[in-house]
Every structure is written in structure tokens, then in C-alpha cells.
Amino acid sequence: MTRLSTATRNKLKTVSTATVATALFKRGLRVQCIQNVHPLNPDAPTMVGEAFTLRYIPAREDLNTIEVFRDRGHPQRKAVEECPPGAVLVMDSRKDARAASAGAILVSRLQQRGVAGVVTDGGFRDSAEIARLGISAFHQRPSAPTNLTLHHAIEINGPIACGDAPVFPGDV
């Protein structure tokens, strides 16, 4: 993954999303903004970082039981542990906020590991608690607190579609 220089990261933190979108549009990139995601805490720091991705598919109840979350090799757990400091965990949740993309425990772990932020086109459980953490976090809307197994985490750090935007690992 290409690392942003500190100077570039700091400069991008001063530029509005609209300005970035216009600059991309002028270069022929028209579908580069994730749609229908909202900050949990509008006062959280501006988020800039390289994308580290996680993709969910609809869950099969016989394969996505509660026991799979105990496995340290589970893609969601691996993504949380492998997302580099300064990166942004971006999750393709198929624009479905019914199931939790993550909760406060996983987002707290990302924050502790120095991740710049987290984005899902689905929902977070514990959204009020995540908002109080101070990490930049964006989602569609809160998910039901008990819906853990509607999504099946399938792949980390591959190309995804999040909020109708293509996101490749390392994208800023």
C-alpha cells in the first residue's frame, strides 16, 4: 500500500469533499464519492487515509452462525487487526443497514490501533457509543443491535463497491 506523506495527508485535511469531487470530475472520474453515508460525530477529526477494504455478502444461516465470530481468522476480525495505522477501513455492506457492519468494540480496537477512520454503506450497532469515541466513522444509519448474522464477511483488501463508488485498496 502506498503511504501518504504527512504533508499530503495534512493538506488533504484542509480540502472540502466538494473540492476533491470537482478535482476528480475535471480528470474524468465522475463516480468516486461514496453516497448516502453520514458521520456519527460531525465534530470528529477530518478523515484522510488509504483504503483498507472489507466486503460482505448476504449470509447463509448454516455458514454464518454466531460461532464463526470466535475464529481469529474470520475476515472481519482480520480486517480490524490488519488495517494499518493511518488507513481507513471501508466496508461494502451492500447498502444494507439492517445488519451490523461493526460495533463499538471493533471500532474501539481500530481507534486503539491508530486507524484514521471507518466507513460502511451499511450500519453500525452501538452507533451512539461509536459517536462518543471521537474516531471518524460514517454509516448509512444505525443497525439493529441484535442483527449480527445477516452479513457474511467474505474478503479483505480487495476491490469493493461502497455507497455506489468503486473503492480499491490504497485509494485515498
Q: What is the DSSP letter of 46?
A: P
Give, to the nearest 10 degrees, the angle between helix 75-82 and helix 104-112.
30
Angle at 75 (CA atoms; ends 35, 53), nearest 5 degrees: 30
Sequence spans of domains, the chain: 6-167
Radius of gyration of the chain (CA): 15
Helices (H), 32-156: 75-82, 104-112, 127-133
pLDDT tens for the chain, 172 residues long, are 568 899 999 999 999 989 998 999 999 998 888 999 999 999 999 999 999 999 999 888 777 776 776 777 889 899 999 999 999 999 999 999 888 899 999 999 999 999 999 999 999 999 999 999 999 999 999 887 666 667 888 899 999 999 999 999 999 9
Handedness of CA 118, 16, 25, 86 (dihedral sign): negative
The predicted pLDDT at position 58 comes to 87
> Out of 3.50.30.40, 3.40.50.300, 2.30.110.10, 3.30.70.20, which CATH number does the structure's domain 6-167 have?
3.50.30.40
Give the predicted TM-score (pTM) of the model: 0.92
Host H or E run for residue 154: strand 151-156
